[in-house]
Amino acid sequence: MQNEIKQAQRIVVKVGSSTLTYENSKLNLNRIDKLVRDISNLKNQDLDIIFVSSGAIAAGQGKLRLNKIDRSIPEKQALASIGQGLLMKTYQKLFSEYGYEAAQILLTQNDLNDRKRYLNSRNTINQLLKYNVVPIINENDTVAVKEIKFGDNDTLSALVSSLIDADLLIMLSDIDGLYTTDPRENQDAELISEVEDISTVESAAGGSGTERGTGGMATKIEAAKIATKAGIPMIIANGKQDKVLTKIIEGKEIGTTFLAEEGLPSRDKWIAFNMAVEGELIVDSGAVKALQESGSSLLACGIIETKGNFSAGDVVDVFDQSGTKIGRGLVNYAQREVEQIEGLQSDEIEEKLGYQAYDEVIHRDNLVLSI
C-alpha cells in the first residue's frame, strides 16, 4: 500500500475547520501557512493537488467576534459569505508567496446531481490543474441550506475525489486517525493503522468532533465508503503534525489508511454517489440472480414492490426481499407506472400502460451493483 501512496499523482487534501481555526474561531495563520507550504512542496514535485477546505462559517464568526452559539440558517449563510472571502484572500496570499495561484470553486450537491453540471465541474478542475493552479473547493454554504444543516466537507472531498479520478484522498483532522474507541473519552483507545473492510470499524465512529466543525469520525467513515468504492484509498491524519502531507507521500505510516476497492467507471460513479435517491424497488430472487450473475437489466417481471414517489430518470435503490441492497440505478418509468407493470413480462407493458417506452425498468448500463 505504501508504494501506491508514494506513486499517487493526483491527490485530494481535505482540512477541517478545527484544524484551520483557534477556539475563538479566528484563523490559525501559522498552521495555515505550514499547510500551504506543505501543499506547495508537493506541487514542486509535479503532483496535482486539489484542496477541499472547510472553515468559512467559523472564519466569519471569528471575524465578527461573535460568541459560539447555535445559529439560524440565514445567520450561517451570512457568516459563510464573510468567512469564505477571508479564507480565499489568505490562501491566495500564502500560495503566491510559494509561487502558486489558487482558484475558488464553490459547489452544492445539485452541481454533482446534474450530469451536465457534474461534467462541467470536472472539466473546470482539470483545466485548473493543467494551468498548475491549486483548486480550493468548499460547499457553497451561502445558498445551500440543506448542505449547512446536513452536509459536510468530508463527503464533498470523497465526491470530488471520485469526480476527478484522484489517486489518493488525505483527510486532515484534529485527531491522529481512527481509533478503536474515542480517545478523548477512553485512554485505552488504540489507533487503527489500516482498514480493509469498513463494516468492521463503523462502531468506532462517534458524533461531531468540535463545535467549529460539522463532521466527526462518522462522516469520515461515510466518506471512506465513497472513496474506496470509487477505487481511491483514503488516509485520515492529524493536520497539526508538521509536514504531514510530505511525510505521507514519502511513504511514512501515518494515521489510518482505508484500502481501495476495484474502481467503478465514471458514469457508474456518478449514479452511485452523486444523485439523490428518490425511491426503492423490491425484487424477487430470480431478478437478484439475473442481476448479479448474468449482468442483466432489471425487468418489470422481477419487481415485487415500489416505494417512494420517483419519476422517470430518477435514481432508486434496488433491494431483495430480505432488505439487502442489491444496487442503484436510473429508472425508465415513474413510480406510478412501475406499480402498474410490476410482475409483468416486457411484452405485456404496452397493453397495460397503453405505450411502451422501454423494455427494461432499469437498463444494465444505468445500474450499479453492490452500492
Q: Does residue 295 have a known ligand-binding role?
A: no
188: DSSP letter:
T
Q: Does residue 85 have a known ligand-binding role?
A: no
Q: Does residue 219 have a known ligand-binding role?
A: yes
Q: Does residue 199 have a known ligand-binding role?
A: no
Q: Does residue 359 have a known ligand-binding role?
A: no
Q: Does residue 228 have a known ligand-binding role?
A: no
Q: Which residues lie below 8 Å from residue 209, measured CB to CB, with a gap of 6+? A: 16, 18, 173, 174, 175, 215, 216, 217
Q: Does residue 352 have a known ligand-binding role?
A: no
In sequence order, the β-bridge partners of residue 319 are: 282, 325
Listed residue (10, 15, 4) closest to 244, CA to CA? 15
Query: What value does the CA radius of gyration of the chain take, rounded to a whole number of Å?
Result: 22
Rounded Cα distance between 330 and 317, Å, is: 9
Please state, as a whole number, how many other Cβ atoms lie within 10 Å of the Cβ of residue 130: 9
Does residue 8 sit in helix, strand or coil? coil
Q: Does residue 25 have a known ligand-binding role?
A: no
CA neighbours within 13 Å on the CB side: how many for 268?
17
Q: Which three cell numbers stand for residue 295?
A: 449482468
Q: Does residue 165 have a known ligand-binding role?
A: no
Q: Does residue 205 have a known ligand-binding role?
A: no
Q: Does residue 21 have a known ligand-binding role?
A: no
Q: Does residue 263 have a known ligand-binding role?
A: no
Q: Does residue 78 have a known ligand-binding role?
A: no
Annotated binding site: 14, 54, 141, 153, 173-174, 214-220
Annotated binding site for ATP: 14, 173-174, 214-220
Annotated binding site for substrate: 54, 141, 153
